[in-house]
Amino acid sequence: MGSETASNKAVVTLQPNWPLIYRGEKIMLRCEIHDRDTEWEYEWKSPHGTFPNNSENRISQASSRHSGNYSCRGNMRNAQNISTEWSANITLTVYYTPAAVLTVSPLWLSPRDSVTLSCEVEHPSVGWRFYWYKAVPKLSQNYYHELLPGSIKGTEQDSYIIHGPTHTAGYMCRAGRGDPVYYTQYSREGFVWSGDVHSALTLKVSPDRVQHFTSDSVSLSCEGNFIKWRVRSFPKDPYLIFRTDCFYWRSMTESTCNIDRLQQRHAVFWCESGSGEFSNAVNITRLDPYIILVSPVHPVTEGESVILGCKLRTGELLSNVSFYQNDKLIQNDTSRELNISAVSKSDEGFYKCKYSGNESPQSWMSVQAVPVSRNENSSSLIPLIVGPSIQRPIQSERTNQDSPAHHMVNLNETPDHVYSSLLHDVYVNSGAQSQNLKQTKRKR
């Protein structure tokens, strides 16, 4: 006797119904036949052939071998050779574990600034909750992840606001979905920086200036009551690791480390302690022009004196130097220095010098308000601190089911924020790379 085709229709559904499935996720394919009065036996077609099964085809950990087409049909239990037609195919494509992409804004902190973190899954999909972490330095590895308040169960929102930070800090995120929770990879660390020279850990630079010739030797040191310290930088420069010992953990008895013989570089530097603290951050620029500006690497306080100078690559002292603030000539006489006896907020801005037809690059000099009390806690002392900056563009796996335990640039058209131009191209290029990465589906 030949087989007969039942009029009932079989349909394959996916639970949970994610449009994208990732390696390691738990999923279930269900064969549904809408007939309550008939008992059915089920048959499945999969990438590995045809086999009998019950109505639910469970996959505890998806992998590349599960990619392909699935369909099912029902065979009447009490009637021989009567079956439904095969269902339409449902196609599974199993991707590599996705990465989370973190963006932070702003990059440089003014007093009482709030920081906005945003997290995006590499291959946009649905069902995600977001977990937010502080990056804490650790002696045995780069950073460990400390959950931020309110994110132990994840947040529905893909953004997280940190109110009023005052110091340099690093952050990470990841996303999770399903039960048990399936996690993406952690994002790369995203940093915000403060120029607060009164933090518990302070970065010192010698010579104390923003601009340096590529032939100069620059010494860095971290000051504070800590056992271990190291210096980090952004952009992350693989050559820097091999050209300086500052990257490695050092004891406080080791007073300095040196960055020597680097090619042309622009970077933000800061200290980290073995107990998890971050220092103020500074911009250091290594150039190869004929002339550079000599300006302080840290903010200066209102009422204090400051001296700006010019320096030739040959090291000769100069006279008859012209100084400019925000491209406006402010001194043109026989002196070789610009002496400001009592700095005020109006002195904040971009400075450069000219000598014998040669012009230096310009650097930002920041002015901070006088602390209310020198004896108060340092975290409340600085109403406005912005690290000096050079305004020259830069050319430029963890398991998924463990416990929970880019970049947006916010540039305002005010002088207080123009210094962010140093980092603008870095983050734009980084963001473009992230977009290219997200558009490339990694299948497994």
SS3 238: helix
Check whether residue 347 and residue 236 sit in a common domain: yes
Whether 431 has a pLDDT exceeding 90, the answer reads: no
Output the six-digit token pair for 42: 């089920």
Domain boundary among 54, 76, 95: 95
Check whether residue 139 and residue 222 sit in a common domain: no
- For 327-356, b where at least 16 C-beta lie within 10 A, e where not — what string? eeeeeeeeeebbebeebeeebbbbbbbbbe
Check whether residue 81 and residue 120 sit in a common domain: no
Q: What is the pLDDT of residue 388?
A: 34
pLDDT tens digits for range 262-293: 555 788 899 999 888 999 899 888 888 889 99
Round the average pLDDT of the chain to a whole number and report it. 79
Report yes or no on 172 lying in a domain. yes
Q: What CATH number is attached to the domain comprising 58? A: 2.60.40.10
Check whether residue 232 and residue 171 sit in a common domain: no
Report yes or no on 74 lying in a domain. yes
Report yes or no on 197 lying in a domain. no
- Residue 341, CB half-sphere, CA atoms under 13 Å: how many? 0
pLDDT confidence tier of residue 90, bands split at 50, 70 and 90: very high
Domain boundary among 75, 95, 115: 95
Report yes or no on 268 lying in a domain. yes
Q: What is the pLDDT of residue 385?
A: 29
Phi-psi region of 200 (alpha: psi -120 to 50; beta: other; left: phi over 0): alpha
Check whether residue 251 and residue 371 sit in a common domain: yes
Check whether residue 220 and residue 338 sit in a common domain: yes
Whether 336 has a pLDDT exceeding 70, the answer reads: yes
Report yes or no on 152 lying in a domain. yes
Q: What is the pLDDT of residue 63?
A: 92
Check whether residue 218 and residue 322 sit in a common domain: yes
Residue 48: give the domain boundaries.
Answer: 4-95
Q: Are 287 and 214 in contact (CB under 8 A)?
A: yes
Mean pLDDT of 34-60: 89
Check whether residue 120 and residue 59 sit in a common domain: no
Report yes or no on 335 lying in a domain. yes
User: How far is the C-alpha of 266 from the C-alpha of 202, rounded, in Å?
Assistant: 20
Check whether residue 178 and residue 221 sit in a common domain: no
Check whether residue 349 and residue 231 sit in a common domain: yes
Check whether residue 236 and residue 342 sit in a common domain: yes
Report yes or no on 196 lying in a domain. no
Whether 135 has a pLDDT exceeding 80, the answer reads: yes
**Residue predicted with more confidence, 329 or 195:** 329
Percentage of the chain beyond pLDDT 70 is 79
Mean pLDDT of 132-140: 91
Check whether residue 17 and residue 107 sit in a common domain: no
Specify the number of domains making up the chain. Answer: 3
User: How far is the C-alpha of 200 from the C-alpha of 54, rounded, in Å?
Assistant: 64
Strand order across the 228-234 sheet:
211-213, 278-287, 265-273, 228-234, 250-251
Report yes or no on 162 lying in a domain. no
pTM above 0.85, yes or no: no
Short-list 298, 389, 301, 383, CA closest to 350? 389
pLDDT confidence tier of residue 244, bands split at 50, 70 and 90: low
User: How far is the C-alpha of 299 from the C-alpha of 367, rounded, in Å?
Assistant: 6
Short-list 228, 215, 319, CA closest to 259? 215
Q: What is the pLDDT of residue 392?
A: 30
